[in-house]
């Protein structure tokens, strides 16, 4: 897998027309993230448009519900040809297993590849103090992220979403093919924005990330295509050194 294939760019825009304009502006991007705002606005239409352009799709809706509901949602998502789906690890093992069973059934029903299901460990907008003081989680943040990752693995999921700062630790305890999707990735020349636990793209890949989710440093740049190419070049140089 080449570096450019490992970078997922979010379509964090409010309409179908704005999303497609961004896709057309970045033809070299092969993997796009569809989140809550865009999916609520457009529904499956954005998925159909991206599939027609032969793009890979990361459906980042972070399902978190009772097991039966999560299974049904994942089954329907898989039937649309989604490549990567997020669910919340905090939903518990039964829900995670049901979600995995749902994608298998949904994909098989229409004859498409089974999408990867990844569990959110800790949102990258949550600082360690918030985990302790606001959510009352008794574990340190890295330990809690590891617990969620091990739960995902034991539930048969493909991987997890984690901060790049936790990627190195998770890699020590998890198989090489266990997928780590890392948001909170910012080049040194970009603002951190609302991310609390960040790392540069090259550092994240060196730490063991499989995929990097990089949004505003690319999409808000004066020249998005140039920003994407710059990130790919920096990552390639770091990995080959």
What pLDDT does 196 receive? 52
Concerning whether 33 is annotated as a catalytic residue, the answer is: no
Strands 31-34 and 7-10: parallel
Which residue out of 33, 51, 55, 62 is catalytically annotated?
Answer: 62
CATH number of the domain at 4-240, please?
3.20.20.70
DSSP E strands in the chain: the ranges are: 7-10, 31-34, 56-63, 84-88, 116-120, 159-161, 179-182, 211-213
What pLDDT does 188 receive? 85
Query: Higher confidence at residue 238 or residue 26?
Result: 26
What pLDDT does 130 receive? 93
Q: Worst-scoring range by mean pLDDT, 75-79, 107-111, 174-178, 235-239?
A: 235-239
Query: Higher confidence at residue 96 or residue 237?
Result: 96
The band of 127, judged by pLDDT with boundaries at 50, 70 and 90, is confident
Cα 209 to chain center, whole Å? 11
Averaged pLDDT, 85-92: 98
Give the residue extent of every domain in the chain: 4-240
| φ, ψ dihedrals at 199, nearest 5° | -160, 155
On the question of pLDDT at 195 being above 60, the answer is no
**Closest Cα partner for 215 from 187, 241, 188?**
187
User: What whole-number distance in Å separates Cα of residue 119 and Cα of residue 203?
Assistant: 22
On the question of pLDDT at 194 being above 60, the answer is no
On the question of pLDDT at 233 being above 90, the answer is yes
The band of 239, judged by pLDDT with boundaries at 50, 70 and 90, is confident
pTM over 0.75: yes
Residue 71, SS3 per DSSP? helix
Across the chain, mean pLDDT equals: 94
User: What whole-number distance in Å separates Cα of residue 216 and Cα of residue 233?
Assistant: 18
The band of 64, judged by pLDDT with boundaries at 50, 70 and 90, is very high
């Amino acid at each position: 897998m080449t570096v450019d294939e490992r970078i997922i760019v979010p379509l964090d825009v409010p309409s179908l027309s704005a999303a497609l304009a961004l896709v057309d502006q970045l033809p070299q991007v092969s993997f796009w993230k569809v989140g809550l705002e865009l999916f609520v606005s457009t529904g499956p239409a954005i998925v159909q448009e991206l599939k027609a352009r032969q793009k890979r799709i990361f459906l980042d809706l972070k399902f978190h519900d009772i097991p039966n509901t999560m299974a049904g949602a994942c089954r329907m998502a898989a039937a649309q040809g989604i490549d990567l789906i997020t669910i919340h690890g905090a939903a518990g093992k039964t829900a995670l297993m049901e979600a995995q069973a749902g994608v298998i059934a949904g994909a098989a029903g229409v004859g498409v590849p089974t999408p990867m299901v990844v569990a959110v460990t800790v949102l990258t907008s949550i600082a360690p103090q918030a985990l302790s003081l606001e959510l009352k989680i008794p574990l340190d943040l890295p330990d809690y992220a590891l617990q969620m990752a091990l739960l995902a693995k034991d539930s048969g999921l493909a991987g997890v979403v984690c901060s790049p700062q936790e990627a190195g630790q998770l890699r020590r305890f998890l198989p090489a093919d266990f997928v780590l999707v890392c948001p909170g990735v910012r080049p040194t020349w970009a603002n951190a924005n609302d991310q609390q636990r960040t790392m540069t793209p090259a550092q994240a890949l060196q730490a063991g990330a499989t995929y990097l989710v990089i949004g505003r440093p690319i999409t808000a740049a004066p020249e998005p295509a140039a920003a994407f190419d710059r990130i790919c070049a920096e990552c390639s140089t770091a990995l080959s050194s």
